Copies of this chain bind each other. A is one copy, B any other.
Amino acid sequence: MTEAEAERRLRRLGLAPEDVRVLVEHFAEADRRGKASHGLARVAWLEAQAFDPRARPRRVAAEACFDRWDGAGALGYLTLDAVCRSLLDDAPSEPRLVVAERCFPTGALGLWARRLAEGGLIALLTATSPRRLPHPEGGPPLTGTNPLAIAVPSSDGEPAVSDVSMGAVTHGDVLAGTARPEELVPFGGPHAHKAFALAVGLELLVGALAGPEPAAVLLVARPGHDPVPALRARAAGLRLPGDA
């Protein structure tokens, strides 16, 4: 699908032009960065979802160290875009926790974290999603795939960005038919209890801050040090997370 076709189809869903731009930019960048399950193929998926194309995310609290947003029925992409814009327009001098309630779908978390790091902020971002991962011993799904993204600015230009989902495959892979539903388990094989524990910890962290619906939690802070160039030098050309 081309970006132009994606724009046309998203406009037909009733989304405003500026919201369509946010979505298409996110999907196209996900495709460019090899995250095709969050890419333009999501347009067809969105066409099958029920959502209010006119809903707007709202910042419902702004405390000294803390923002709370409510997706309020808007697509999670639009909530995270609004969160990023607010933080980049007025970058906090102290660390800040942002809780975005009712925030789904959130797309490729690493892209939001990267944008914040390109603006000079360290970002740690996680999000819950519908329960799809079972316990390594089996049973019903207990957690979302609950990715964790961390982005750190670098004086050499490109931030370092890690973005890891706790599933062995993605739900997008299952939707695309490139993975079977039963492959959507915590990654790690004999160490799957580790990925499962991470998924549970993140599920409960987000749940305790944001409630039972899928939501996102973001920590931003200004860096005091510049560790990326030294790590890149030590890696001596090996590909690091988030590298093109």
Interface residues of A (CB under 8 A from B): 63-66, 94-97, 122, 124, 135, 137, 139-140, 142, 148-150, 152-153, 160-165, 168, 187-191, 193-198, 200-205, 207-212, 219, 221, 223-228, 230-231, 234-236, 238, 240-241
Other A-B pairs, 16, CB within 8 Å; known A142-B238, A203-B227, A208-B226: A64-B65, A65-B96, A122-B205, A122-B209, A135-B238, A142-B234, A150-B201, A150-B202, A162-B201, A165-B194, A188-B188, A203-B231, A204-B227, A204-B231, A207-B227, A209-B225
Q: Which of A197, A212, A231 is most buried by chain B, counting CB atoms within 10 A of its CB?
A: A197
Could you name 28 residue pairs across A and B whose Cβ atoms are closer than 8 Å? A65-B95, A66-B94, A95-B95, A95-B97, A97-B219, A122-B205, A122-B208, A124-B201, A124-B205, A139-B236, A142-B234, A149-B201, A150-B202, A150-B205, A152-B201, A162-B198, A165-B194, A187-B191, A187-B194, A188-B195, A194-B195, A196-B241, A197-B241, A204-B227, A208-B223, A209-B223, A210-B224, A212-B230
- Return chain B residues, CB-CB under 8 Å to A161: 201
Is the CB–CB distance between A211 and B225 below 8 Å?
yes
Number of copies: 2
Is the CB–CB distance between B204 and A137 below 8 Å?
no
- Tell me what chain A mostly uses at the interface: helix, strand, loop, or mixed: mixed
How close is A72's CB to chain B, nearest CB, in angstroms? 17
How close is A152's CB to chain B, nearest CB, in angstroms? 4
Is the CB–CB distance between A197 and B164 below 8 Å?
yes
